[in-house]
Structures are given as structure tokens and as C-alpha cells.
Copies of this chain bind each other. A is one copy, B any other.
Amino acid sequence: AADPGVRARWWTRLALMVLLQALLPTCLSKPKDEYHNLDGYGYSVIHEEIVKDSARTEAYRSAILENKSHFEGKVVADLGCGLGLMSLFSAEAGARKVYCIEGSQIASTAETIIRRNRKSDTVTVIKGRIEEAVIPEGEVDVIVSEWMGYFLHYEDMLPAILTFRDKYLADNGLIFPSHARMWLSLYSDTRWYNDRISYWKDVYGFDYTPIVSRVVEEQFVNPERQHLREDGVVSEPSLVHSVDMYTATLEDVKDIRATISSKVTRKATIHGIAFWFDVTLEGDEHSALLDTAPKAGYTSWSQVVWYLQDAFNATEGDDVKGTFAMMRTDRGEFDVAVRLKSPSRVELEAFDQSPSTMFQNLYERLSFEHGIYEEASDNQLHRLLDYASRLQLGFVAAGVSAFVLGWMVGQWH
């Protein structure tokens, strides 16, 4: 029998070897960015879209400049400040100190802009994550943040805001926005439906209906972002979720469940379900509403629509009831499900809808419009990391088996 000391040494080396095998692919893989939607915000085109969204910018601008009593001599935090426009508005409204906190690399441009506009004494840019930002004053009087994403929550920025609020917001402090609401409505678009589905019945005299099943398969899987026609909204909006920014907890926004009740306003064929949100920026002197409904006109968010595989007919007065659920997964993705009881057949489910799914969607459109295609988007990065972790398991297994085989060979001699 071998010396137990020697055997222990070898067992240590074996353990080290296995560890090395496990670590090697980890070193090869890219570090996982928990803020998976930040990368895209490094591009100027996205900020261009945001700044030029006048409904959005004007809502915040008026809320800040027409509520000067909340800002004069106060400490303000602008969370996810981007190019710092709201920080500049806050300085203009008389804030004593503004912290402009931004995690993407656009922060350095914000810094230059603030210097250029001679507001560096008042506005300080903090580059980094909102949750990790340190406020020297120990508290802030006002939080300003434009955290809303597609489907209200898809950018997954709200948890960071709530964490910051609990840590830093002074008693009687103010939050812009103060409230957020998500709405749902039935949507009808016969022209769209004919163009995508009926079109194939006669293509230059040929029957192309075999492609319809593919179109349906590709089209109806996920909720998607679109500018919806106002007259396509054919039922009264049903409130599916409401956030009070002063009292909401992290738990409140992790697992959202609601009952749906939406009264049909005109006889129509229902092709999908539309979602949008609005937020209130409520101060003592002025309140602003930022509404992203189809009837409110253009915003950079547009609306989200989820097309039905089978359209159904509805009549004025029908009360369509059902349930809505949206759960935040541990990976910061969302599972979304809609079930309409009447008609009973409508069930829509989407899993692992990451913040980047819709974000990427915006990014891709901007890429098309403005011509940026250098970087892999977040979604693909995630797939790559999934793939790497699968490989990693195989790696360890193969390493261990190779070691054991080698050991057996060594024993044989």
C-alpha cells in the first residue's frame, strides 16, 4: 500500500486539476453583466431617440421646472441619467446638488455636456450602478428617474430605483414619477391581418397558403413592440398593474397578477391584445402625465401588441374577462401569461422575456435606421453564455474521466 501522506498529496493535486478544468472555460467566457440592458445605452442613437421623444422630455421638464419649490436648495438624484438632461433641468430649477447616476459608457459624454453648460459645480456624474452609488450627503430630497421600459417593466430598472429609494430618500422626499400604471386592451387590425395572412391566398395566381403556418409560427409567439392605430383599440382599457413609487416593494414588482375586465366598445374582429403604460409626475405645484397609449400619439416606447393565432369576433358591450400574470425570474427576465376566459380559447404565454428582448428590438430598429451593427446584442450574449456553461459541464466531466483513465493506465504498469 502507498504511503498515506503521498496519497493525500495526490488527492490534493487531483482536486486542483479538476478545479483548473472547471475554471478554464470560465476565464474564456465573457463576464456576465447583470445590467444586461446597459450596453446598448452606450450608443448615442438611443439617447437621441429618447431626447427627441418630446412627450417624454416635456413631461419631465414641466414637472421639474414648474415644481421649483421641490428643487430649490435641494439634493437631487437623477437615476439612469443618460445624457443628463433632467439633471440640467434640476439644476435650472435651483437644486443645490444633483447626482447624475449612469451605468453605461455614455456617462462620460454626460460629464462633458454638463461641464460645457457650466453646471459642474451643481451636477456631479457618478459612473456606475444605481444600487452601488454613494451619496455624500447621506440622503436626497428628490429622485428623478425615467426607468420605464417596454411592457413597463422589461428594462428591469425599477428594482434598482426602489433599492436606492429605501437607502437614500429623505422623509417627505419626492419621486418623479410618483405612480405608474399598465393597461391592456383588445386590438383589431383587419388590414394588417389581411396583409400578413390573407395575402397568400392568391400570389400572382398561385395558392401560397402553405406558408401561412410559418407566418403564424413566427408572428404570434411573443408580444412585440409596434406603433398601434388608435382606432384599432376596440375595448375599454383594463388596468393590469399599478405602482405607487413611494410604497412599492421589490416583492410587489416581482410577481404581478391581475384580473382582466375589458368592455368591448364596437363590433370587431379581435386580432391581438395591446399593452401600454402611463406615469404621473406629481408635485405640489404641477402634475404631468406621460401617457404611452395609442391615442396619446408618438412616444419612443410605442405600444406592445400580442397577436392571437386565432382571431375572434366580439360585439359591443361584451365584457372580456381573464387573468394576467408577469413574473420576474431570477435572471431578470419575465414570464408573461394572458388568459381570456371568454372566449375560453385565448391563452398567451411567453417565457424568459428578457429586458433585452424588447430593448434589442428598439436597438435593432435604431441600427437599421442609423446604421450601427458592430456589437452583439445582449440576447445573443446570453445565449452564448448559456452555451458556454453547458460546455463547461462537459469540460469537467471529460477532465475527470480523462484523469481516471490516466490513473488506471498508470496503475496497470
Binding site for B on A (CB under 8 A): 2, 6-7, 10, 13-14, 17, 20-21, 24-25, 28, 43-45, 47-48, 51-52, 57, 61, 83, 85, 88-89, 106, 109, 112-113, 116-117, 196, 199, 203-204, 206-211, 214-215, 218-219, 221-222, 224-226, 307, 357, 360-361, 364-365, 367-368, 370-374, 376-377, 379-380, 383-384, 387-388, 390-391, 394-395, 398-413
Contact = CB atoms under 8 A, between A and B. Distances in A.
7 contacts: A13-B409, A85-B204, A109-B210, A218-B372, A364-B365, A406-B408, A410-B413
Contacts of A357: 373
A301 to B, nearest CB: 14
A20 to B, nearest CB: 7
A383 B376 CA distance: 8
B410 A402 contact: no
A400 B398 contact: no
A361 B404 CA distance: 49
Contact of A83 (B208, B394, B398): B208
Given A51-B203, A215-B48, A400-B402, A367 B370 contact: no
B399 A218 contact: no
Given A17-B405, A410-B410, 5 more contacts: A13-B405, A51-B208, A61-B204, A219-B372, A402-B406
Contact of A17 (B17, B211, B402, B413): B402
Nearest to A11: B409
